[in-house]
């Protein structure tokens, strides 16, 4: 980005960028799949999924009229979003249900922006969302995680050429689509090995009477469907 004034920055954010070649889009998908399937990179990259997960809880809590009190992100890639309001009802159900499907939905929003050649807009929207979440973070690791992620996106959007920005934007979008699926399997595995009443699925069991396993299936079905739709949009435009 070559802007030197706020007005030029604003123009660059809303300006369209050339669509990257097909091979770059496909290669970004392969790299994203590798990040999700390999244990070392996944442990690091999963922090981005946690940010989206907790952000989903937070947004739906606010939209449903609950009072959001804070978000914590932990080094084991878990997180907690705390809100106040009725302990039951549709608002609470939607708030709890939002977490596991939000990363995939973020990927879908990314696709819609990229299909309209809004690469810079995607990057700067990500920065703004991270900045808004930073106001709600209540622990040091959460601050470090958000600031580090935001700084990376900013550096790419400000100091790299258009081709690198495009590669990064497509990698991010692919990653959110693919990475939305793996935590659902991890959730069910954890429920089998170490049952906990605090998992999203088990909270929804208590709130709705629908078994937790059915909620895990719901999360997985939504995320797989979004992934399949995303593959179709990105690779078969």
What predicted TM-score, i.e. pTM, was given to this entire model? 0.93
Condensed to tens digits (0 to 9), the pLDDT of residues 180-230 reads 999 999 999 999 998 888 899 999 999 999 999 999 999 999 999 999 999
> Per-residue pLDDT for 2 more than 90?
no
pLDDT value at 19 more than 70: yes
| Position 97 pLDDT exceeds 90 | yes
Q: Indicate the helix (H) or strand (E) that contains 79.
A: strand 79-84
Of the candidates 227, 16, 57, 55, which has an alpha carbon nearest to the alpha carbon of residue 149?
A: 55
Question: In whole numbers, what is the pLDDT of the chain averaged over residues?
Answer: 93
Instruction: State how far the Cα of 235 lies from the Cα of 237, in Å rounded to an integer.
Output: 6
Q: Distance (Å, rounded) from C-alpha 174 to C-alpha 34?
A: 11
In the prediction, which pLDDT does 197 show? 85
Is the model's pLDDT at 4 over the cut of 60?
A: no
pLDDT single digits (tens) 128-140: 999 999 999 999 9
Considering only CA atoms, which of 82, 88, 84 is closest in space to residue 65?
84
């Amino acid at each position: 980005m070559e802007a030197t004034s706020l007005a030029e920055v604003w123009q660059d954010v809303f300006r369209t960028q050339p669509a990257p070649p097909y091979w770059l889009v496909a290669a970004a998908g392969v790299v994203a799949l590798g990040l999700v399937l390999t244990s070392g990179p996944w442990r690091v990259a999963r922090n981005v999924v946690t940010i989206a997960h907790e952000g989903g809880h937070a947004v739906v809590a606010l939209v449903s009229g609950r009072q959001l009190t804070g978000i914590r992100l932990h080094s084991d890639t878990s997180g907690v979003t705390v809100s106040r309001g009725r302990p039951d009802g549709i608002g609470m159900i939607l708030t709890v249900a939002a977490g596991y499907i939000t990363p995939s939905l973020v990927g879908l929003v990314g696709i819609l922006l990229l299909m309209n050649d809004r690469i810079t807009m995607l990057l700067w929207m990500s920065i703004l969302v991270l900045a808004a979440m930073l106001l709600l973070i209540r622990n040091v690791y959460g601050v470090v995680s958000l600031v580090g992620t935001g700084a990376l996106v900013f550096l790419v959007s400000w100091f790299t050429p258009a081709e690198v920005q495009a590669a990064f934007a497509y990698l991010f979008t692919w990653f959110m689509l693919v990475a939305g699926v793996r935590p659902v399997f991890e959730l069910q595995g954890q429920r089998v090995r170490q049952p906990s009443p605090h998992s999203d699925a088990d909270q929804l069991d208590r709130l709705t009477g629908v078994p937790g396993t059915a909620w895990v299936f719901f999360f997985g079905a939504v995320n797989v469907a979004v992934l399949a739709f995303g593959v179709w949009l990105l690779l078969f435009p």
